[in-house]
Amino acid sequence: MEDAGRSARKVEAQVAEAVAAVRARAPQAAPRVGLVLGSGLGAFAERVEQATRIDYAELPGFPEPGVAGHAGRLLLGSVGGTEVAVMQGRAHYYESGRADAMKVAVRTLAGIGCDILVLTNAAGSLVEWAPPGAVMLVSDHINFTGVSPLFSEVGDARFVDMVGAYDKELRKNLKQDAVRCGLELPEGVYMWCAGPNFETPAEVRAAKVLGADAVGMSTVPEVILARHAGLRVAALSIITNLAAGISETPLSHAQTMEVAAAASDRVQGLLERFLANLSEGKH
Ligand code: HPA
């Protein structure tokens, strides 16, 4: 195992290099909001105005794109008048077995000035009020993996308070914006499951007993990293299916991509309105 001190110094160096690379490529950029686009939401990148596109390959420590539907690009530009840094593609725990795969990326977003992080994902639903095609605002999470992206961190800051991790004010703003968009936006608890296999029906029953409303394979490590870095966080789940054992339909990544793409326009509209209201000082 890598020595904790050495790996911390490596992360710090990669963040510094990535921040410098972004500043060199987009010297005027002063992003306020970071966004991570999950499955099916990649098209939001087209809404970024005056975008500078930087391949992750140019940013040390950024994820290597692996999963179909995830590009590997950071975009700097603006949406609705708010300056943003958009991650088109994320790393998942299941790709490498490393829960900290997004550590450099999240810290880089903080390093270039973001103080809000909005995460999106695809998820399976456990509840009838969030059927496939619905969009759920994450109110809290359950970490079902037993790992943390902060393993091997040192110092008192690693003991991150997770109360209010999904920022109350941002949630209120997003709910108001959803009403204006004519979009239903129920709130629910997201459970992080390791993947890449889907859950078993017994795991889904357990998830329900434990208090989850949806299950998915991402987002939670980024939320923990973002809270550690002092960012305010919001997360949206596109419900792409009923979780294992709830319906007869076999689960597949193809279905995830198809349903997420169908809901994508509504989520993009919501994000655009949220960013416009932010720039106009309405949030
Ligand atoms: N489980 C886990 N992750 C998912 C699911 C699911 O049912 N659907 C989309 N992502």
Q: Give me the residue spans of the domains in the chain.
A: 2-279
Helix (H) / strand (E) containing 96: helix 93-96
73-79/82-88 β-pairing: antiparallel
Asked whether the predicted pLDDT for residue 70 surpasses 90, the reply is no
Q: How far apart are CA 40 and CA 217, in angstroms?
A: 15
Percent of the chain having pLDDT more than 90? 85
135-143/187-192 β-pairing: parallel
pLDDT at residue 211 in the model:
98
66 confidence band (pLDDT: 50, 70, 90): low
Is 265 strand, coil or helix? helix
pLDDT at residue 196 in the model:
96
Give the number of the atom of ligand 1 that is nearest the alpha carbon of residue 244.
Answer: 7
Which residue's CA is the nearest one to ligand 1's atom 3? Answer: 216
pLDDT at residue 65 in the model:
66
Which residue's CA is the nearest one to ligand 1's atom 7? Answer: 124
Asked whether the predicted pLDDT for residue 219 surpasses 80, the reply is yes
73-79/187-192 β-pairing: unpaired
Q: How far apart are CA 1 and CA 283, in angstroms?
A: 45
Query: In the predicted model, what is the mean pLDDT of the chain?
Result: 94
Residue linked to tokens 């936006």: 185
What lies within 8 Å, CB to CB, of 168 at 6+ separation is none
pLDDT at residue 159 in the model:
97
Asked whether the predicted pLDDT for residue 271 surpasses 60, the reply is yes
Taking domain 2-279, whether its CATH number is 3.10.20.30 is answered by no
Spacing, Cα 215 to ligand 1 middle (Å): 6
Spacing, Cα 196 to ligand 1 middle (Å): 9
The best mutation among 90, 256, 258 to test binding of ligand 1, ranked by most ligand atoms within 8 Å of the C-beta, falls on 256
Nearest to 115 by CA among 33, 234, 200, 10: 33
Ligand 1, residues at Cβ distance < 6 Å: 122-124, 193, 198-199, 215-217, 240-241, 243, 251, 256
Q: Answer for the pair 267, 120: CB distance below 8 angstroms, yes or no.
A: yes
Report the pLDDT averaged over residues 8-37. 96
205 confidence band (pLDDT: 50, 70, 90): very high
Q: How far apart are CA 112 and CA 257, in angstroms?
A: 31
Give the number of the atom of ligand 1 that is nearest the alpha carbon of residue 121.
Answer: 10
2 confidence band (pLDDT: 50, 70, 90): low
Q: How far apart are CA 225 and CA 20, in angstroms?
A: 20
Report the pLDDT averaged over residues 35-39. 93
Provide the strand spans (E) within the chain: 33-37, 49-55, 73-79, 82-88, 116-125, 135-143, 187-192, 214-216, 232-242
The best mutation among 200, 241, 264 to test binding of ligand 1, ranked by most ligand atoms within 8 Å of the C-beta, falls on 241
**Exposure class string for 57-72: b at 16+ Cβ within 10 A, else e:** eebbbbbebebebbeb
Which residue's CA is the nearest one to ligand 1's atom 2? Answer: 216
Asked whether the predicted pLDDT for residue 69 surpasses 60, the reply is no
Spacing, Cα 240 to ligand 1 middle (Å): 7
Give the number of the atom of ligand 1 that is nearest the alpha carbon of residue 125.
Answer: 7
End-to-end CA distance of the chain: 45
Helix (H) / strand (E) containing 5: helix 4-25
Report the pLDDT averaged over residues 104-124. 98
pLDDT at residue 242 in the model:
96
